[in-house]
Amino acid sequence: MNDSRLSRRALIAGAGTAALAAPALAKLGGMIDLGLPGGPGLRPLSPAFPGKGEMIVQRIRPPLLETPMEAFAKGIITPNDRMFVRWNWPFPTEVKAAEHRVAIGGAVKQAVSLSLDEIAGAGEHVEIVAINQCAGNGRGLSEPRVTGTQWGNGAMGCAKWTGVRLRDVLAKAGLAEGAKRVRYAGLDVTLTEGAPQFIKSLPMDMAMRDDVLVAWAMNGEPLPILHGFPLRIVVPGWFSTYWVKMLAAIEVLTGEDDSHYVAETYRWPSVPVTPQAKDFPTVPITAMPPRAFITSHADGAVVAKGEPLTLEGFAFGGDAALERVDLVGTGRGGGWEIPCDLGPDEGGQYAFRRWSVRLPQVAGDFEGIGVRAKNVKGAVQPESLVWNRSGYARNVIERITLRAQ
């Protein structure tokens, strides 16, 4: 409720209320302009979906809802009613808790079918704050443009997830000799016979990790249906394509996974490619790279000449903790950079973290400034887009221009 009131206020007040303004997103009568190069970039903010606040409706069926950037202007947690929604295929609109089962089979000692209570009793309950980000987040901003869901940068969010470890759930069945990958499926089904089901898999070392969960709660609430009730996989640091929703089946594999969404898509080039390139090697898209955003000022916002200026935003390290954020000027090599102050580490290494920077005096326009995140593994946001034909893993420095007056 609060959030939608805030956003309405921002809409009325316009760019003057810098702290509430949505960067680069102009709202026009129930529509939002994502500013995608060459268009079309206009998206409706309706119809409303149950349990959701104001969202950018990319698609009604199956739902694709994008979070307006203003939802990231405060704090590090994305409320459930603002978390982005992404489904590939239709899913049941009703789930009976008592009837739900998770079947575990394949290379296991003993196939089992677990109730929700059995899942919840499989091990220690774990809470982790982690970013859920679509591999295609920001695809619509790719230049040259690529086909697929035309997201702005709002196909991400940060939430607190509660569940049990996937490895404790697997222990209910026991891994058999030669177990190599863990594949899982949700209740979403294809509409046509022979179309690929949305199933994904993790290599065993990931599946065994301390923080890879079978989660039932999001920000302390049961998972809403749109977010995968009753259970979803949580893989901190990896893109949400692995965070399968409505978990219903787990299969332990002894070899590679040749299913469509692992072997043929959600892959990207393992070498730099040009838009003309063909027949290049690809690898699955997995770990997230660092990203940073300015939330205090929209592109084109006016700032007071001669006055001090404070810029704010949030950043994340991806699959490792954030190390630093720098405000960077225009120009490769020749630009300037100013270190930003990081806010408190509220959510741990896989969470959003706030940053701010105070400039003593505005001397003139700021052309194409951006913020650049670096993680503790040394990964830094690049100056130019690492283009790929699927528009995956965008993490180029996002830039805005501020006008001094």
Partner 1 sequence: MSRLAILPALLILAACDSAPAVTFKDASITLPDDPLELPEGPGRDAVLENCTACHSPSTMLQQPKVSREKWEAIVGKMQKLYKAPIDDDAVPAIVGYMVHVQSQPEAAR
Looking only at the bridges linking them, the beta strands covering 181-185 and 213-218 are: unpaired
* 134-153 footprint of ligand HEC as x/- string (CB under 6 A): -------------xxx----
What is the Cα–Cα distance from 394 to 396, expressed in whole angstroms?
6
Residue 354 identity:
R
Which residues, listed in sequence order, are joined to residue 161 by a DSSP beta bridge? 128, 218
Quick check: 192 binds ligand HEC (CB under 6 A)? yes
> What is the residue whose two structure tokens read 């026991």?
174
Asked if 58 is part of the footprint of partner 1 (rule: CB under 8 A), the reply reads: yes
Binding partner at 1 among ligand HEC, partner 1, none, C-beta below 5 to 8 Å by kind: none
At 156 the three-state DSSP class reads: strand
Residue nearer to ligand HEC on the CB measure, 67 or 349: 67
From residue 183 to residue 222, what is the string marking binding to partner 1 with x (rule CB under 8 A)? -------xxxxxxx-------------------xx----x
**Using CB under 6 A, which of 4, 88, 259, 401 touches ligand HEC?**
88
Considering the complex, state which of residue 88 and residue 356 has its C-beta at the smaller distance from ligand HEC: 88
Residue closer to partner 1 (CB basis): 61 or 332: 61
- Interface residue with ligand HEC, options 191, 271, 274, 384 (CB under 6 A): 191
- Is residue 349 within the footprint of partner 1 (CB under 8 A)? no
Q: For ligand HEC, which is the closer residue by CB, 1 or 191?
A: 191
Q: If we measure between CA atoms, which residue out of 320, 341, 317, 327 comes closest to residue 370?
A: 327
Assess 194 for contact with ligand HEC (CB under 6 A). Answer: no
Nearer Cβ to ligand HEC, position 151 or 314?
Answer: 151
Residues 377-396 contacting partner 1, CB under 8 A: none
**Beta carbon of residue 191, minimum distance to ligand HEC (angstroms, whole number):** 5
Amino acid at 160: K
SS3 34: coil
| Rounded Cα gap, residues 3 and 78, in angstroms | 10
From residue 147, alpha-carbon distances to 84, 110, 156, 176, 283 in Å are 20, 44, 19, 41, 20
Q: How far is CA 224 from the centre of its chain?
A: 17
DSSP structural state of residue 171: H
Quote the least distance from Cβ 280 to partner 1, whole Å.
18
Strand, helix or coil at 143?
coil
CA angle 194, 199, 205 (to 5 degrees): 145
What single DSSP character describes residue 29?
A: T
Closest contact distance (angstroms) between CB of 111 and partner 1 is: 21
> Applying CB under 8 A, which of residues 29, 30, 147, 271 lies at the interface with partner 1?
147
Binders of partner 1 among 76-115, rule CB under 8 A?
89, 93-98, 100
* Cβ contact 188:246 at 8 Å: yes
Q: Do the Cβ atoms of 347 and 384 come closer than 8 Å?
A: no
- Minimum Å distance from CB 132 to ligand HEC? 16
Contact flag: residue 263 with partner 1 (CB under 8 A) = no
329-333's contacts with Cβ under 8 Å and 24+ in sequence apart are 329/366, 329/368, 329/369, 330/367, 330/368, 330/369, 330/399, 332/383
Nearer to ligand HEC, 147 or 274 (CB): 147
Nearer to ligand HEC, 136 or 313 (CB): 136
**Chain positions contacting partner 1, by CB under 8 A:** 36, 38-43, 47-51, 57-63, 89, 93-98, 100, 116-117, 120-121, 123-125, 127, 140, 145-147, 150, 162, 190-196, 216-217, 222, 224-226, 229-230, 260
**Chain positions contacting ligand HEC, by CB under 6 A:** 88, 147-149, 191-192, 195
